[in-house]
Amino acid sequence: MLSAAGLGADVPHGVQHGLSTRVKTIVDRAVAEYTSLNLPMLQAELDQQSARNRARTYRPTEGLDPEFEGLPLDPDPVPGAPFLFTISGMAEEAAASVPDLPPLSDEAKAALRQEVGLADDYANMVGREICTILLHHRLRIQNAVHEYVEPQIEAMLEELTRSLDAPFDPYDPPSE
């Protein structure tokens, strides 16, 4: 998808992440609508899981802006400096207090797998359509990166250059 948009490795991660999470949201919404209309067993499972999730008292990953979805909840641990608590640990504790979903029969599992496969196929189809659309806008996207993102990067590099101390100044006499 990023390739179809013309966003290579030289484009900042923030730009890539912002576009990819927004496109993922579009795909997710399209698949949710398809599932609700065409895949009743999968929709019933998703509804049960949603009810289970709502029963949890602490849900730190919900309601985030798209650019924050999928990011780690906790910072990387520092050796020798343990956490008193972690956000992900508190979320796990809250999830443990909610009862498990009821078990499925083997036939129901097979039917559910088939519906999940259909939902995956639909997601891939929507993703390919988005890539086709992005290909048509590739030059506009690249121009926008050139016009808006690159000047910001240049300004940050210029500020960094000004704020760094030179390791030595050729005009200063050597210290003894």
3-class SS of residue 62: coil
Q: Please check whether residue 143 lies inside any domain of the structure.
A: yes
The Cα angle at residue 135 between residues 132 and 140, in degrees rounded to 5:
140
More confident residue, 168 or 58: 58
If one counts the domains in the chain, the total is 1
Q: Please check whether residue 56 lies inside any domain of the structure.
A: no
Q: Please check whether residue 140 lies inside any domain of the structure.
A: yes
Res 23: pLDDT: 93
Q: pLDDT tens digits for 56-92? A: 778 788 878 877 777 788 888 888 888 888 888 888 8
Q: Tell me which residue range forms the domain holding 25.
A: 2-38+105-163
Q: Is the pLDDT of residue 176 over 80?
A: no
Q: Please check whether residue 159 lies inside any domain of the structure.
A: yes
Q: Please check whether residue 124 lies inside any domain of the structure.
A: yes
Q: Please check whether residue 51 lies inside any domain of the structure.
A: no
Res 137: pLDDT: 95
Q: Is the pLDDT of residue 27 over 80?
A: yes
Contact 161, 27 (CB under 8 A): no
Q: Please check whether residue 83 lies inside any domain of the structure.
A: no
Which residues are CB-contacts of 7 (< 8 A; sequence separation ≥ 6)? Answer: 15, 16, 19, 141, 145
More confident residue, 117 or 175: 117
- pLDDT, mean of residues 11-24: 89
For the stretch 31-38, contacts whose Cβ atoms lie closer than 8 Å and that sit 24 or more positions apart, written own/partner, are 31/119, 31/122, 31/123, 31/126, 34/119, 34/122, 35/115, 35/119, 38/118
Residues in the chain: 176
Contact 56, 98 (CB under 8 A): yes
Res 34: pLDDT: 98
Span between the terminal Cα atoms of the chain, in Å: 59
d(CA 148, CA 151): 6
Instruction: State which H helix or E strand residue 125 sits in.
Output: helix 106-136
Average confidence score pLDDT of the chain = 87
| Least trusted range by pLDDT, from 37-51, 57-71, 127-141, 148-162 | 57-71
Backbone angles phi, psi at 25, to 5 degrees: -60, -40
Q: Please check whether residue 135 lies inside any domain of the structure.
A: yes
How sure is the predictor about 135, in pLDDT bands with cuts at 50, 70 and 90? Answer: very high
More confident residue, 119 or 53: 119
- pLDDT, mean of residues 168-173: 62
- pLDDT, mean of residues 25-54: 94
